[in-house]
């Protein structure tokens, strides 16, 4: 596979931007367009870009965790965020909000945690698909 130097260099600068943007989308998602799903897709596209520029193996090394672990932890976080509602209100998935506002992030509550679960799940599944396709291609 021939990869241009331009793409390789540009990727190095683009990836941090894309990851920050994906977090921005994740945090913005409660009341405005955005959320865990889109955020996860943007983050996955950042890694996909890196994989196009540098190949699958380096991407997997950079990611450190396996996509399957991302899927599992994402699902788990999403489900567990629902249990806070049971503990505090006796209703599954009822939103629990902290009173104090945090700087930059704003209000924090279980919907945000749920969205983080979605973020990880989407990231994990997209990467699983992308890696599988790349590995198929290399064989």
Partner 1 sequence: MKSLTNILLVAPILLPFLSAIIMLSAWKKIKFQRVMNLFASGVAVMASLAIMQKVRADGILVLHVGGWQAPFGISIVIDLLSAIMVVITAVIAFVTAIYSIHTIDPEREAFGFYPLLQFLLMGINGAFITGDLFNLYVWFEVMLISSFVLIALGGRKDQLEGAIKYVTLNLLASAIFLAAAGIIYGLAGTLNMADLARKLPLLNNDTMLNLVSVMFLISFGIKSALFPFFFWLPASYHTPPAAVSAIFAGLLTKVGVYALIRVFTLIFTHDVNFTHTVLLVLAGLTMLSGVLGAATQMDFRRILSFHIISQIGYMIMGLALNSPLALAGGIFYIMHHVIVKTNLFFVSGMVNKFEGSYRLKSLGGVFKASPVLSLLFFIPAMSLAGIPPLSGFWAKFTVAKAGFDLEQYFIVGVSLLVGALTLYSMTKIWNEVFWKDKPDSIQNNNTKESWSSVKLYLPLAILSLITIIIGFNAEPFLNLAINAAHQLLNPQEYIKIVLGS
**Residues binding partner 1 (CB under 8 A):** 68-69, 71-72, 75-76, 79, 85-86, 89-95
Residue whose CB is less far from partner 1, 29 or 54: 29
Residue whose CB is less far from partner 1, 42 or 71: 71
Give phi and psi for 35, each to the nearest 5: 115, 180
**96 burial via Cβ count (<10 Å: 0-12, 13-18, 19+):** middle
The least distance separating partner 1 from the CB of residue 78, rounded to whole angstroms, comes to: 9
Residue whose CB is less far from partner 1, 44 or 77: 77
d(CA 39, CA 97): 22
Whether the CB-CB separation of 50 and 61 falls below 8 Å is answered with no
The least distance separating partner 1 from the CB of residue 91, rounded to whole angstroms, comes to: 5
d(CA 54, CA 66): 18
User: Which CA distances in Å does 28 have to 32, 43, 125?
Assistant: 6, 15, 22
The least distance separating partner 1 from the CB of residue 83, rounded to whole angstroms, comes to: 9
Q: HSE (CB half, 13 Å, CA atoms) of 81?
A: 20
The least distance separating partner 1 from the CB of residue 85, rounded to whole angstroms, comes to: 7
Residue whose CB is less far from partner 1, 28 or 94: 94
């Amino acid at each position: 596979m021939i990869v241009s130097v331009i793409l390789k260099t540009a990727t190095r600068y683009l990836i941090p931007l894309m990851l920050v943007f994906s977090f921005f989308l994740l945090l913005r998602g409660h009341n405005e367009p955005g959320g865990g799903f889109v955020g996860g897709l943007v983050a996955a596209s950042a890694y996909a870009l890196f994989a196009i520029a540098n190949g699958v193996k380096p991407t997997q090394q950079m990611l450190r965790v396996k996509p399957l672990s991302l899927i599992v932890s994402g699902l788990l976080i999403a489900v567990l965020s629902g249990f806070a509602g049971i503990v505090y209100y006796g209703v599954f998935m009822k939103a629990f909000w902290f009173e104090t506002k945090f700087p930059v992030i704003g209000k924090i509550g279980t919907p945000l945690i749920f969205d983080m679960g979605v973020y990880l799940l989407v990231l994990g599944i997209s990467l699983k698909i992308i890696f599988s396709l790349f590995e198929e291609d290399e064989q």
